[in-house]
Amino acid sequence: MFLVARSSVVVASDVHDAVTEQLRSRQQRYTALRRKLVETLGSAKDPLTINDLQRSAKGVALSSLYRNLTILEECAVVSRIMTSNGSAIFELSESLSEHHHHLVCAHCGLVRDIVVPESIEHGLDKQLVKLARKEGFTFQHHQLDVIGLCGKCS
């Protein structure tokens, strides 16, 4: 099998240092709530819903969670992924974690992180560079979502 599930990650102090710098460069502070969000997302195996994050940050208003997630997203700390059913899920940005892709259920919206072996990533990048160049584009990076049905929906 070529696709492997991503393992959960423990948020290291260098990640917190990087987040502090990314926020500071945008005149934002690394508050206790933002730190909690980074730790929760960093220790998750897959992207989390707003409800998952609200359970983790007990007593925090939904509006405050969304406001802080938006700031973290604007500072390239968090990535927002829109699911097939129109809801948002969140994860640490790839600059703070590992490069990965997603399996997305077209029916229920479930999203699972997967890591593609380096040899396949390298081959994919080579082909994408060629395709981009042919169209007059300069390749920077790729994102891949594999759409299908999860085990419960198939």
Low-confidence ranges of the chain (pLDDT < 70): 1-12
Which pLDDT belongs to residue 10? 45
Answer yes or no: is 153 within a domain: no
Name the 3-class secondary structure at 25: coil
| Chain centre distance of CA 85 | 18
Answer yes or no: is 96 within a domain: yes
Answer yes or no: is 2 within a domain: no
Answer yes or no: is 65 within a domain: yes
DSSP type of residue 123 = H
Answer yes or no: is 21 within a domain: yes
Amino acid residing at 22: Q
For the stretch 108-130, pLDDT in tens is 888 898 988 999 989 999 999 99
CATH classification at residue 100: 1.10.10.10
Answer yes or no: is 4 within a domain: no
Residues 6+ apart with CB under 8 A from 119: none
- The number of folded domains in the chain is 1
Answer yes or no: is 57 within a domain: yes
Angle formed at CA 144 by CA 110 and CA 112, multiple of 5 degrees:
25
Residues 6+ apart with CB under 8 A from 33: 57, 60, 64, 68
d(CA 47, CA 80): 9
Say what the pTM is: 0.77
Structural domain including 130 reads: 10-148
Which pLDDT belongs to residue 24? 96
Answer yes or no: is 83 within a domain: yes
